[in-house]
Structure 1
């Protein structure tokens, strides 16, 4: 080797040493120790910094140790027909909308319906040709997928009636329940089949939710001319039992259900806390309009209700509601007859979103106070909904993460 070439190699080594970052000299476990102090949101952003970070932050076991990102996933009936299906999600921490691609799913017409930790559940067409004349009657299937990883698992197929009329509830460990007016289906990984159970309820279950190992639902036990709501619950393992469903009621609750119009259930911010949201009746007369939206909270340990939040009147007026005088009561009753002030409620785990026909391009959001506080929660508007021009939206909470692989 000539002295000139040796000198060139030494100079190159010096340049490489100067360009090498100190973090690249650390062992892998030390790098993971440093990166493990990031949130999942920060870790995903750091993957584009350099090749070292990309390799370190593409390890699923490492990423699964990071807490998931809580998002609002927005549903829309036309999203399934898009050429490149995707899911619009809202990050409440950043107050920003994002898009999660669903193009990795090799199925027709994916329609997201619910989620469990890290897993998204979608109805898909099981038939290869959904445009055929038999499209209305062909089978549907639920798909459990992790959109951050791009992996999925197809559940056993069901009839299309279950997808049209059923409410899908997803829990941890892959448990899924589909509830309709007369029956419920239960699925758990292992047997790879659905178990069917009749519902021993006095009426069609409204707003069923899954909390822990139990299903909660509201039932109308009143008369055709006036609703009367009651709260029922059933353990998952007792779905097939004749005495599985039982009413939750206390004498001291009084008329807590009578003050609501079309109430809805959602999980609270902490385990064992259930939210009931609905229109607050302005009076007890038949077809009385609502004065605002009320949020009550039930502590399932003490079985006591308290008021968690009440929509500000100026916000509720944007939905076409809110009364404070006899003239406004008459006007609101006419509006109610046309169904123009119906408010859609969705969310859970301490955050509730509201949409309506009169509120276009935005949602109202309520955030539950921390445990022990009673300030009525935080109300705000969420603007800039992407992709949709309609005013009525639906959605669900999705904890995006790497903790579960289908």
Structure 2
């Protein structure tokens, strides 16, 4: 069986290898072992049946496997590994220190949701004093980070953070054109297909296309800052608050990825108040690319100060434009997050019960201050239309704050 923890430590061809929890060291096979007699193409045929995670775990077993599994073309042919990447509340160096690792060897903590195994993806190849991963592109999957690109040797510590794109398995990175400090402090980053990147704020958006040397700026025709924008197909969907300072009223807006100026509200008379039965709703992509999930605390009434009774997941089918209830957090799980005081944006009713919601592609995870060392998980079932709730245990270094996360398809095929 594969080990329970895998650390992908370098690019293929480098001297370091993938280390496993059992501390297996690379060694020679016994002389005359039958597998040593296989031609290289036959050996690759055998190893090519492994998943990427299994291939990485096999590299430290022996020198033959290490050499065979360090070929870039071979590793690039393996299917990518769908992971949940966690954003540490502080920097990547702080994430390393929080779990007892060398602070000079930062990494990205990720979960293999299928096997429930934790993986550490290295970020030590990045030549920056700090790096904060924020999102990943869908296909090919690359990791985007806010980095401090100041030159420590020259004493320049005043330059604002900028965006960088990298492949942590291949150990390659590239800086995107610089941004102003307001964008790095307040912008929401979305990564589109083909390397396109968007940064959204309340009044404007920046768009970057691969190969360009500048960002294109667009004014947003929205009533408020877009909340939890997501990419589904070729469109962006976001929630906007059109209420008052005393009461939030949420509306769903969308625009085409190719024209960020033309935002339009999505409304149907039959929807009624469906968008406002949840406190601080958040959008995520559903399974299959044709559904939107809206997650929030279920209000006991429409009063502004109404307490929440549980967490509700609503689902919008973009083909029929109909909402249905996809999931409701079990009461015993809900109580672990603070019960009726739950707020998905900040502490509610004076209690310290902050909760973060993240995920995509039909999977939703919840982390909270009151839930140490584990995440709550909901997984959509495409066949039954329902979903399953469970706990994911063993989250390292959870005493530093509340994690957030995003989906990341780890692999060797994408080049920054």
The Cα offsets for residues 287-329 of structure 1, whole Å up to 9 and x where unpaired, read as: 1011111111112122222211111111111111249xxxxx9
Distance 1:380 1:220 in 2: 32
Counterpart of 1:395 in structure 2 is: 405
The TM-score with structure 1 as length reference comes to 0.86
**Once the 2 structures are TM-superposed, how far is the Cα of residue 220 of structure 1 from its aligned partner?**
0.8
User: Can you list the C-alpha shifts for 1:167-211, whole angstroms capped at 9, x where unaligned?
Assistant: 111122111111111111111112232111111101111111122
The question of whether the paired residues in 2 share the 8 Å contact of 1:126 and 1:157 is answered with no
Residues 285 and 78 of structure 1, relative CA distance in 2, 3 Å threshold: closer
User: Would the alpha carbon gap of residues 43 and 393 (structure 1) be closer, same or farther in structure 2, given more than 3 Å must change?
Assistant: same
Superposition misfits of 4+ residues, deviation over 6 angstroms: none
Match of 2:356 in 1: 344
- Write out aligned runs for 1:148-227 (5 A): 148-227=169-248
Match among 18, 24, 39 for residue 27 of structure 1: 39
Rounded to whole Å, the distance in 1 between the matches of 2:294 and 2:179 is 31
Q: Which residue of 1 aligns with 2:9?
A: none
1:108-129 Cα distance to aligned partner (Å, 9 max, x none): 2111111124311111112214
Larger radius of gyration: 1
Q: Name the counterpart of 1:319.
A: 337
Moved more, 387-396 or 291-300: 387-396
- Tell me: CA distance 1:391–1:310, structure 2 relative to 1, closer, same or farther (3 Å): farther
Deviations 1:57-110 (A, max 9, x none): 222232223222122211123334443221111222222222222110011211
**Equivalent position to 1:288, from 295, 298, 306:** 306
Aligned counterpart for 2:141 among listed residues 89, 105, 118: 118
How many corresponding residue pairs? Answer: 372
Per the alignment, residue 303 of structure 1 pairs with: 321
- Correspondence for 1:67: 79
Do the aligned residues in 2 keep the contact of 1:71 with 1:91 (CA within 8 Å)? yes
Counterpart residue number, 1:273: 291
Q: What's the offset of the Cα at 1:156? A: 0.9
Q: 1:36/1:343 Cα in 2 relative to 1: closer, same or farther (>3 Å)?
A: same
Deviations 1:124-152 (A, max 9, x none): 112214997x85x5222111111111111
How far apart are the structure 1 equivalents of 2:206 and 2:351?
32
Unmatched tracts of structure 2, length 5 or more:
1-29, 95-102
Alpha-carbon spacing, 1:339–1:179, altered in 2? closer, same or farther (3 Å): farther
Counterpart contact for 2:372–2:398, Cα < 8 Å: no
What is the rounded CA distance, in whole Å, between the counterparts of 1:208 and 1:173 in structure 2?
A: 19
SS of 2:332's equivalent in the other structure is helix
String of CA shifts for 1:322-346, please: whole Å, max 9, x gaps.
49xxxxx9xxxxx832153342111
In the alignment, which residue of structure 2 is the partner of 1:5?
none
1:107 aligned to which of 115, 128, 152: 128
Which of 85, 90, 97 in structure 1 is aligned with 2:111?
A: 90
Whether the aligned pair in 1 keeps the contact of 2:92 and 2:108 (CA below 8 Å) is no
1:10 is matched with none
d(CA) in 2 for partners of 1:183, 1:170: 17
Which whole-Å CA distance do the structure 2 matches of 1:158 and 1:143 have between them? Answer: 11
TM (norm. structure 2) is 0.84
- 8 A contact 2:160–2:184 mirrored in 1: no
> Is the partner of 2:74 in helix, strand or coil?
helix
Which residue is 1:11 aligned to?
A: none
1:76 and 2:88 aligned: yes
Across the aligned residues of Structure 1 and Structure 2, the Cα RMSD in angstroms comes to 2.3
Q: Is the 8 A contact 2:146 2:162 kept in 1?
A: yes
